[in-house]
Amino acid sequence: MATTTTANRLGLLVAATVVLVVATAAAPALGAAPAAAAATPPSPFRRVYAFGDSFTDTGNTHSTTGPYSFGYVSSPPYGATFFHRSTNRYSDGRLVVDFLAETLALPTYLPPYLSSNSNSNSNSSTTAVGVNFAVAGATAIEHDFFARNNLSIDVTPQSIMTQLDWFDAHLLSAGTGERVADALFWVGEIGANDYAYTVIARDTIPPKLVRTMAVQRVTAFVEGLLQRGAKYVIVQGLPLTGCLPLAMTLARADDRDSVGCAASVNRQSYAHNRRLLAGLRGLRRRHPGAVVAYADYYAAHHAVMRSPARYGFAEPFRTCCGSGGGAYNFDLFATCGSPQVTTACARPAEYVNWDGVHMTEAMYKVVAGMFFRDAYCRPAFKDLLAMKAQGKP
């Protein structure tokens, strides 16, 4: 690896990122009530629909449909911290969308759409809380675009628009019982996989083109939700993708920013988010009868990386469930859950990074708190709840 050229390293980053994001009685049941439900006052939202990629996927992918080097999401130690077994979440426990369910005091976590319960029986008690359509590996741009440019890794070829099709199918099967206007729509981060393709095709698919196309697709997706009657939508931006151990391992050693992460990758995420914000402002002007909020993942992640100890993290860079030691404890060819890596670090709550690309439950919990209680969601989450309770806007 030490002799790999910069181009080859970035090429590995593309291949790894694209394929990776595709992809006991004491344990809480998958549909168990969130821990905060009993103590939290009734929420104005009783149903949530979620979309996105592996940062939001609660079980729409499994080891058999995941990426070749991260194809072990169904194996321990995934899920070990909270569920005490794998639930096909790319973490050791709960994700931001799970903490959203707890914050809203929903009786269960959101079921994945491709599970038998939510896909074939939309009126079951499980889907009464909503459905999670997010799938690991999803892109913002449609799969055909990458296939036409000979850049397709055909593991999970779904795009965000595929998830809109799934949502339509769900509504059709649910009949008239689904009140779209009363639901909260959670659009998790989407687009990181698209940029991964640009690294090995920079001449034919420049990053600026992907940024334009990706943001256009995301805004078109959100507009599609609004046209279907959605009135309350929260859209996440991209996190600091340059702070993921995979990116830092493969980037040049001198490609670092003020928080020690891959500067070029973070600049790309920052530019994407600025363009996304402009797109969301346009949606607000065209749909004044809806609330379109922005969850600033980039700023929240940056705050943690700037002062990790303040948020309880002793290891901002090292992978908790990884191998290879060194600064990042990450080896692309011996990843979490594989036969070579069957155990994780002793104290995941002190780590930001779980498997080299996804966060620990502790990090997701911190980010969720910043979204739902602090100023990293605009309009503020509490104001969105108040507007819903008052029947506004």
Q: Which of 234, 188, 230, 225 minimizes the C-alpha distance to 381? A: 234
Helix axes 207-227, 263-286, angle to 10 degrees: 30
Q: Which residues contact 110 (CB under 8 A, 6 or more apart)?
A: 48, 50, 58, 97, 98, 101, 129, 130, 131, 132
Is 358 among the catalytic positions? yes
Percent of the chain as helix, strand, coil, to the nearest 5: 40, 10, 50
Asked if residue 379 has a cis previous peptide bond (ω within 30° of 0), the answer is: yes
The amino acid occupying position 291 is V
Active-site pick, 54, 69, 118, 122: 54
Q: Name the helix (H) or strand (E) containing 21.
A: helix 6-22
| Cα–Cα dist 378/365, whole Å | 19
Residues 6+ apart with CB under 8 A from 303: 311, 370
Chain CA centroid to CA 262, Å: 20
Find the catalytic residue in 272, 287, 302, 358. Answer: 358
Marked catalytic residue, from 143, 338, 355, 374: 355
Q: Is 353 helix (H, G, I), strand (E, B) or coil?
A: strand
316: closest CA among 255, 366, 251? 366
Kindly state the helix (H) or strand (E) to which residue 51 belongs, with its residue range: strand 48-51
Rounded to whole angstroms, the Cα distance separating 113 from 58 reads 9
Residue 355 among the catalytic residues: yes
Q: Which residues contact 18 (CB under 8 A, 6 or more apart)?
A: 67, 137, 153, 193, 196, 197
For residue 48, list its beta bridge partners: 130, 184
Rama region for 251: left / alpha / beta (φ>0; ψ in -120 to 50; rest)? beta
Q: Which among 62, 59, 206, 203 has a CA at the least distance from the CA of 133? A: 59
Ordered alpha helix ranges (H), 151-229: 160-174, 192-199, 207-227
Positions marked active-site = 54, 355, 358
